[in-house]
Amino acid sequence: MSDRPSTPNPRRRPSTPKGWDRADAISTTSWERPPDHLTAGMRRDVVQELGWGRLVFGQTFADHEGLTDVLRDEASGRRDICLYLHDPHVLVATRPQEYFIDPSFTFRMWMHNYRPRPRPAAGVVVRQISGRAHCEEMNRIYVRCGMVPADVDVLWDNHRTTRHITYLVAEELGTGEVLGTVTGVDHTRLFDDPDNGCSLWCLAVDPATVQPGVGELLVRTLIERFQARGRAYLDLSVMHDNEPAIALYDKLGFERVPVFGVKRKNAINERLFTPAPHDDLDDLNPYARIIADEAIRRGVRVDVLDAEGGYLRLEHGGRSVVTRESLSEYTSAVGMSRCDDKRVTRKVVAEAGVAVPAGRTATFDDADHRFLDDVGAVVVKPARGEQGIGITVGVTTHDELDAAIQRAGGAGTQVLLEQFCEGDDLRIVVIDGSVVAAAVRRPAEVVGTGQHDVRQLIEARSRRREAATGGESSIPIDDLTLATIEEEGWSLDDVLPAGEELRVRRTANLHTGGTIHDVTDELHPELAAAALRAAAAIGIPVTGIDLLVPAVDGPAYVFIEANERPGLANHEPRPTAAAFVDYLFPGTRPTPWAWQPDPPAGSDQRAG
């Protein structure tokens, strides 16, 4: 099978039943039953399992009683969707305790209106899935986008055994990394749809993707494949407040149609049909919200004390704990102070046998410059601080050193100089003596389109990062960004060639546009053991240990710092929030998932 999308035949018109026109489409006339001559050949009572739930095609059911029997069979942890049913308001009104009308819009692309355009997303190829690994990558992206995960076996069986389901993935050329996915369902092949339609589901792009236009490329490819089959239209459903997706569909020429979906009132859908249990939950940042959601699922009472600051009070079984995101009352003042001052952190972990780079506290005199001469390149950072503020990486000249020290606070403040070490920025999350997640963090990058200048690319990339992180991540256009771009030989006004990658920040901090890539399954045991030793030496129960590593599957590393309030939301689908709530309220749910590597020979450090 070719990996190249099908090219529509310009002489071939999308086929339609004899005597049919757009006004007769049974999928958009929910107020009346279709005439028998249109539905005579259509299969009845059609339900399609997709792994995350079932698609129930309402137009194939004779009455609401049959639909109700099917919808009541929804599996636990799944989200079924019923579309195209007649009189959805009547079904909901007669069974309001069971069902609700989904607050989504339905958009339709009439195939004869579709206009192909030059393909966006240089350096990306769209292909059908070719193995279970693709299914697992699809699932990873679903979870990172906050969607219901799918059963990998169902995804793979659907691909192998059906002709009516199309699973596409967007891959980065060269690396093969899966950047996004979309699912298509051919209604005509599935149930001899008299409207000759098809639909799009589960469009998802990895929030860490730097390439622009991946979502558009996936949508266009699916449209063109179904257009080549002669389908009349393609439908999709999108939440009413998903403004970026709606803007994309408007751009491509989709139209709103009066098609409504019905869903069951279950725990997954609860936020769609009931007010939030606390009005201020929606004001929490993603790092506090993930903890609040996990606690509520466990039956833990959640009071939002300060939404802007991320402060919560969690109560269960007579125990009350105040948290600020992943920081709780159970972190001692001593542990906090050891994390707060990077000089102290270095000293404490080094005494525990953790490797640290050469370093010194800046004295704002010639000794600082002699240190630079000795090690060749340095990292300059405030001794206290977070979110990458004031840090300069890769300083090699004396003028740069003076500027970096000033940027970190200058004379009269506490500034740390460390030897610059090559490697990937690895964050290991340790909770209650166990490694829960590990991820490589990469500095912000943009990819050229051949049409936009560097400033426009940064602004577009920043908007995508803000949308993906609830406003927590964006790329500032400041002197550090300008210096990084100039070092690469570009300026903000230069048009970057299509496919050209440009790093625009030196540090991998997520708040300045960095991206995070899960490597938990690849983590070398020595790196895990080093993180556990560091956390134990600091005496902190929940922490993000930052290492620089040549490779995540090798033992070499140097310690960089420890974060007393790691962002747990950055590591989905790893169960970081579950581990945190387990630590606070161990009686609410046991979790056997945490990997606890054996300590290296000669070490007394245990992972329990």
165 shares a domain with 74: yes
Is 390 within the bounds of a domain?
no
Please report, for the domain that includes residue 523, its CATH number. Answer: 3.30.470.20
According to the model, what pLDDT value does residue 592 have? 47
151 shares a domain with 98: yes
* Per-residue pLDDT band at 411 (split at 50, 70, 90): confident
296 shares a domain with 252: no
* Per-residue pLDDT band at 4 (split at 50, 70, 90): very low
Scan for tokens 């169960």, then name that residue: 575
Q: Which of 264, 298, 319 is the last residue of a domain?
A: 264
Is 456 within the bounds of a domain?
no
Range of the structural domain that residue 109 is part of: 22-264
195 shares a domain with 120: yes
Cα angle 337, 339, 345; round to 5 = 105
* Per-residue pLDDT band at 11 (split at 50, 70, 90): very low
Span 575-583, mean pLDDT? 93
* Per-residue pLDDT band at 570 (split at 50, 70, 90): confident
282 shares a domain with 256: no
Residue 525, pLDDT above cutoff 70: yes
Is 594 within the bounds of a domain?
yes
Please report, for the domain that includes residue 32, its CATH number. Answer: 3.40.630.30
Cα angle 576, 290, 51; round to 5 = 80
Is the preceding peptide bond at 592 cis, omega within 30 degrees of 0? no
Distances in Å between the Cα of 135 and the Cα atoms of 40, 157, 347 are 36, 10, 45
Is 382 within the bounds of a domain?
no
298 shares a domain with 174: no
Most confident of 16-25, 31-40, 470-479, 551-560: 551-560
Span 542-561, mean pLDDT? 95
CA 108 to CA 233: how far, in whole Å?
A: 7
According to the model, what pLDDT value does residue 29 have? 63
283 shares a domain with 253: no
**113-117, 144-148, 565-569 — which is least confidently predicted?**
144-148
174 shares a domain with 323: no
249 shares a domain with 168: yes
Residues 176-199 have pLDDT tens digits of 899 999 999 999 999 999 999 999
298 shares a domain with 253: no
Is 449 within the bounds of a domain?
no
According to the model, what pLDDT value does residue 280 have? 80
* Per-residue pLDDT band at 589 (split at 50, 70, 90): low
According to the model, what pLDDT value does residue 508 have? 75
Pick 140 or 105 by higher pLDDT: 105
Tally of domains within the chain: 2
Residues 444-481 have pLDDT tens digits of 888 888 888 999 888 888 887 777 666 777 888 888 88
252 shares a domain with 302: no
Is 12 within the bounds of a domain?
no
Is 374 within the bounds of a domain?
no
Is 107 within the bounds of a domain?
yes
* Per-residue pLDDT band at 593 (split at 50, 70, 90): very low
Mode of pairing for the β-strands spanning 197-205 and 233-239: parallel
Of 506, 479, 250, the C-alpha closest to 392 is 506
Q: Which of 216, 234, 264 is the last residue of a domain?
A: 264
* Cβ proximity of 53 and 81 under 8 Å: yes
Mode of pairing for the β-strands spanning 54-57 and 81-83: parallel
